Amino acid sequence: MQKVIGKIRFLAFTLMVILVLFASCSGGAGAENATISINLVKGSLPDKSSVSPDQLRHVIELSGPTGIQTLTLSGSGTAKATVAPGLWRIDVEAYLGDELYAKGSATADVKAGRNTNVTVFMTVVWGGEAGGGIGTGGGGGNPAGSGPVSPGFTGSIVITASGGINGDEKSLSGSWIEGQTLTAAYSGPETPTGWIWYDDSAAVISSINTYTITAADRGKLYSVEADFGSTTIQLGFDIHPWVPLNSPAAFYSMILSGEYILTCDIPSPGITPNNMGPFTGKLDGNGKKIFININEGGQNSGLFASISLGSEIKNLILEGQVVTTMGGAATNYAGSVAGQNNGTIRNVISKVDVSISNNVTIAGTSENAGGIAGINTGTITNCFHDANITTIGSVEIVRAGGIVGFNDTGGNISYCLSMGDITSTNNSALTYDRFVGGIAGNHAGNSINNNVVTGGVLDIQSGFPSWSLGPIANGSPVPITNYHYDTITYTKSLANTDGTSVTPPTPESWWQGIWTSVWAGTTPTETRPWVWDGSRPKLWFE
């Protein structure tokens, strides 16, 4: 009996030792675990955002060594989770009601037994505010973004970027360029014992407080960490440098799927090449000017033949002409920026004359000419066209507009100003449908809101079996809202005046009243680009 009891005691002791060893190896009661704090405060959103984090519902997904965790946070504040040590990716979606307003991502290298604070910088994806980000400022390297105050600390991480480009507001996930140096600092009285920069594979890329952007950094998630001993504070962000275009040769030889920023004006090369398209990348004009002289017979004519879904052209000045002469069986689209736009065009000034002529009588074809694009199924916002549009056609349908010829299914046009003459002439009895509008010749798209047409002549020559002349647009599946037109000369009576005409567009208070979300006041930015020049709004880089 004594032997049996002894064996039982031995086995019990052995089992206890095994359990203790297992607990010590696996972390026991959580000794090896860590905490991660995701801060969602005012600094997480673009500084010009019209929405406060207090109004948003945040859905946070953590992906790391032990799988996926999902957290929610209503309003601003800090979401905290206990996690295993290692590299974690944080994805945040912020909802305004049921609509996705902003989203962002970051990475954090979480250390065992420590708390890691992470700020996720978000980009607004909702409506007219899309594309905003935390600004780097210009010139001397103004703050690009900062982490929030950590519990027990009084400061935050602040990053500055060297060599701002013409004072343009860039974003922490925006169009920085290769060669810029990012500098991290801590704003409080506490002194970090060290700095570490991580890439998205948790590799250390710098152990000092600066990092210089290289071509290899494109599209990667990064974080910078300030070490205070028992606590670290991290700031997560994207490094997304755009390739600088510093010469005409660089511009006209660029790969059309890339992401670029202009650093010089592009003079006319004589006859501008018109084989640039479809454009599937992104181009930040940086307030620079491109002179175009297109004179050819292509189906899609413009700086780019077409702009694809998901692509973007912004912050650009265009001058010159687009002349398209057709003699074959084709439907033609012509605009200063593109013949066809399926992506996003914003903050563009066009002083380009656009014309289409077809001297062959062809059934089943159309001409579509616009100051910005011939046809639009994407988004055009904050654009200004001040030049002439001309169509001369033998085709069945002709559409001509100050911003687009045809706003087709899915197309949105907002906060645009048109001031040029629009003339449509028929040279054949075949043409039976003609649409001329101050903003869009023909509207079958999603929306035309907050646009203004002033000055100029809307001219339909006689001889058309059927025509429509609208100060804003013709044919509206949904109401055309918040528009104004004045001092326009018409050659025929108006056929379409859908929407609500408003008070004349002077003085500044009128524009500020209806263009609230894009009105900058005295400090224009990329997301609030309009300022007053004494007689009309102008874009921030004019």
Q: 367-416 pLDDT, tens per residue? A: 899 999 999 999 999 999 999 998 887 777 888 999 999 999 999 999 99
Strand order in the sheet with 304-307: 304-307, 338-341, 373-376, 404-407, 440-443
Number of Cβ within a 10 Å radius of residue 254:
17
Here the tokens at position 253 are: 């030889």
Is 168's pLDDT higher than 50? no
Span 180-221, pLDDT tens digits: 788 888 888 888 889 988 877 778 888 999 888 877 776 666
Confidence of residue 87 (pLDDT cuts 50, 70, 90): confident
Q: Do 448 and 480 form a contact (C-beta atoms < 8 A)?
A: yes
Q: Which sign does the torsion angle of CA 421, 531, 47, 447 carry?
A: negative
Q: Residue 162 in 3-state DSSP?
A: coil
Give the pLDDT confidence score for residue 437 in this predicted structure: 84
Helix/strand/coil for 316: strand
Task: Name residue 137's amino acid.
Answer: G
Is 501's pLDDT higher than 70? no
Rounded Cα gap, residues 28 and 94, in angstroms: 36
Half-sphere exposure of 523 (CA within 13 A, CB side): 6
| Cα 480 to Cα 468: distance, rounded to the nearest angstrom | 16
Cβ atoms of 281 and 316 within 8 Å: the answer is: no
Average of pLDDT values for 8-32? 41
How many other β-carbons are positioned within 10 Å of the β-carbon of residue 126?
A: 17
Residues β-bridged to residue 59: 72, 93
Name the pLDDT band for 534 (thresholds 50, 70, 90).
confident
State the Rg of the chain over Cα. Answer: 29
Q: Which H helix or E strand runs over 292?
A: strand 282-296
**Three-state SS for 527?**
coil
| DSSP assignment letter at 193 | S
Q: What is the pTM of this model?
A: 0.64
pLDDT at 448 over 70: yes
Query: Regarding predicted confidence, which is higher, 296 or 362?
Result: 296
**Terminal C-alpha separation, the chain:** 100
Q: What is the pLDDT of residues 244-253, one digit of tens each?
A: 888 888 898 8
Q: 342-368: per-residue pLDDT in tens?
A: 999 999 999 999 998 876 666 778 889
243 confidence band (pLDDT: 50, 70, 90): confident
Q: Could you tell me the CA-to-CA distances from 53 to 47, 89, 254, 361, 439 in Å, in that order?
A: 12, 21, 39, 59, 36
Which candidate, 357, 341, 333, 271, places its Cα nearest to that of 308? 341
Task: Express as a percent the part of the chain with pLDDT over 90.
Answer: 21
Q: How far apart are CA 268 and CA 259, in angstroms?
A: 22
The full set of domain ranges for the chain reads: 34-239, 263-502
Long-range contacts from 511-518, C-beta under 8 angstroms, 24+ separation: 511/537, 514/450, 514/482, 515/415, 515/450, 517/50, 517/128, 517/129, 518/128, 518/381, 518/382, 518/415
For the stretch 205-210, contacts whose Cβ atoms lie closer than 8 Å and that sit 24 or more positions apart, written own/partner, are 209/183, 209/184, 209/185, 210/181, 210/182, 210/183, 210/184
The confidence score (pLDDT) of residue 24 equals: 37
Looking at residue 130, its pLDDT comes to 40
Kindly state the DSSP code that residue 482 receives in the 8-state scheme: S
CATH homologous superfamily of 34-239 equals Immunoglobulins (2.60.40.10)
Confidence of residue 490 (pLDDT cuts 50, 70, 90): low
Structure tokens at 381: 């916002």
Report domain 263-502's class.
Answer: mainly beta
Is the pLDDT reported for residue 524 higher than 90? Answer: no
DSSP 8-state assignment for residue 23? H
Q: Rounded to an integer, what distance in angstroms lies between the CA atom of residue 422 and that of residue 441?
A: 10
CB-CB contact of 184 with 222 (8 Å) = no
Average pLDDT of the segment spanning 425-440? 74
Average pLDDT, the chain: 76
For residue 534, what are its two tokens? 């004494």
pLDDT, tens digit (0-9, with 9 covering 90-100), for 119-157: 777 777 665 444 333 222 222 233 344 444 455 566 777
Give the model's pLDDT for residue 275. Answer: 56
Q: Please tell me the predicted confidence (pLDDT) of residue 319.
A: 95
